[in-house]
Amino acid sequence: MVGCPVGCLVIGGADTFTCVTAVAVIGAAGRMGKTTCDAVEAAADLTLSARVGSGDDLVAGLKGADVAVVMTSPDGVDDIVVTCVEQGVHAVVGTTGWTEDGLARVRAALAKAPGVGVLLAPNFALGAVLLMRFAAEAARYFESVEVVELHHPNKADAPSGTARHTAAQIAASRREAGLPASPDATTAVLDGARGADVDGVRVHSVRLQGLVAHEEVLLGGPGEQLTIRHDSFDRVSFMPGVLLAVRQVSGRPGLVRGLENYL
Ligand SMILES: NC(=O)C1=CN([C@@H]2O[C@H](COP(=O)(O)OP(=O)(O)OC[C@H]3O[C@@H](n4cnc5c(N)ncnc54)[C@H](OP(=O)(O)O)[C@@H]3O)[C@@H](O)[C@H]2O)C=CC1
Ligand SMILES: O=C(O)C1=N[C@H](C(=O)O)C[C@H](O)C1
């Protein structure tokens, strides 16, 4: 049998080999965790090395893993990612609701672990990544832009990570184009009626039974409106992006934010 040049588990015969990446899923009992375990188990080049839940020993779960996929709730996710980095395990992170302090802790851990890659991606659905790209492009040409995100009622964070990332990209694109803020003459307002202000872009959060994950970007100009919408009807929509990230993260050291940087 021929050895793998980067030292991972190898299957195959005399002259051929297939590198198998060992993947630990953190948050494995959750909605995204379960779907991720299924996707990893179905991929010939990946092996599921551990399913780690909230009561489990994380360090033990990371033993033998090349990559951790983190799909936990937001509380304590920075501790989890810092532990992955300290254990030399690359991390593909879907958890949203990050704080600036949490991000700083991950950057500090990575500074001491050159070669380790961490991808934080608020949305692994390829359609959502494209929505963000199209919205940023379109936002240069319209006076007004607002974001509406719609999710299942069990979601912990609002606005969604995707909506925050979308608003940040829209704001950057409008700044670059020299556009002012969207016009808004509201003076009498009930708290919350105009949504959250993310980088100067209004973001509205809907939580509704029956929904999975949906987002609309509304763009308005004199006499016209453009709506860009993406719908995830099933969590399998996130899996091609998760697997793509698992296969690439070891070659992307440091912190990367957004799946668009891997495409
Ligand atoms: N990037 C993307 O494409 C997507 C991202 N998401 C994000 O993924 C995250 C998870 O979503 P979802 O699966 O719906 O949420 P769930 O609540 O269904 O799952 C979260 C899981 O994480 C577990 N968990 C919490 N803390 C820990 C811990 N310290 N160690 C191990 N496991 C832990 C929970 O266990 P317990 O219940 O025992 O606490 C639970 O099983 C959210 O932040 C969501 O926004 C969701 C969809 C797509
Ligand atoms: O909690 C969810 O369900 C989702 N969370 C991510 C987010 O906050 O953007 C991605 C997707 O919207 C589903």
Is any atom of ligand 1 closer than 6 Å to the C-beta of 77?
Answer: no
Quick check: is 3 in a domain?
no
Residue having the nearest C-alpha atom to atom 45 of ligand 1: 96
Q: What is the ipTM of this complex?
A: 0.99
How far apart (Å, rounded) are the C-alpha atoms in residues 54 and 77?
11
Provide the pLDDT for residue 15.
60
User: Do 253 and 167 share a structural domain?
Assistant: no
Residue whose pair of structure tokens reads 């509380």 in the numeric block: 75
Q: Identify the bridge partners of residue 14 per DSSP, sorted by sequence position.
A: none
* Catalytic residue list contains 151: yes
Those residues with Cβ within 8 angstroms of residue 157's Cβ, 6 or more apart along the chain or in another chain: 74, 96, 97
Bind-site residues for NAD(+):
27-32, 94-96, 121-124
How many beta carbons lie within 10 A of that of residue 225, not counting itself? Answer: 10
Mean pLDDT of 241-249: 98
Separation of alpha carbons 24 and 47, rounded Å = 9
With CA atoms as reference, report the closest residue to 52 among 17, 19, 87: 87
Query: What is the CATH classification number for the domain harbouring 245?
Result: 3.40.50.720
Which two tokens mark 232?
């995830």
Which position among 151, 204, 214, 230 bears the catalytic label? 151
Residue-level pLDDT at 73: 97
Would you state the pLDDT for residue 11?
57
CA distances to 147, 191, 199, 217 from 131, rounded to whole Å, are 11, 29, 18, 8
- Residue 78 CA to ligand 1 center (angstroms) comes to 13
Task: Over range 163-192, report the average pLDDT.
Answer: 97
Q: 90 catalytic, yes or no? A: no
**89 and 148 co-located in one domain:** no
**What residue's CA is closest to ligand 2, atom 13?**
213
Same domain for 105 and 161? no
Query: What is the pLDDT at residue 2?
Result: 42
Q: How far is the CA of 30 from the centre of ligand 1 (A)?
A: 5
Does 111 share its domain with 146?
A: no
Strands of the sheet containing 213-221, edge to edge, are 196-198, 201-207, 144-151, 213-221, 224-232
Same domain, 132 and 42: no
Each residue's pLDDT tens digit, 90-109: 999 999 999 999 999 999 99
Residue 65 and residue 86 in one domain: yes
Q: Could you tell me where the beta strands, DSSP code E, fall in 200-253? A: 201-207, 213-221, 224-232
Rounded Cα distance, 76 and 95, in Å: 10
The amino acid at residue 196 is A
Say yes or no: CB of residue 161 within 6 Å of ligand 2. Answer: yes
Match 């091609």 to its residue by tokens.
240
Total of domains in the chain? 2
Spatial separation of the C-alpha atoms in residues 8 and 29, rounded to whole Å: 27
Q: What is the mean pLDDT of residues 152-171?
A: 98
Whether residue 57 lies inside any domain: the answer is yes
Cα 17 to ligand 2 centroid, rounded to whole Å: 37
220 and 240 within one domain: no
Domain that holds residue 247: 9-120+236-262
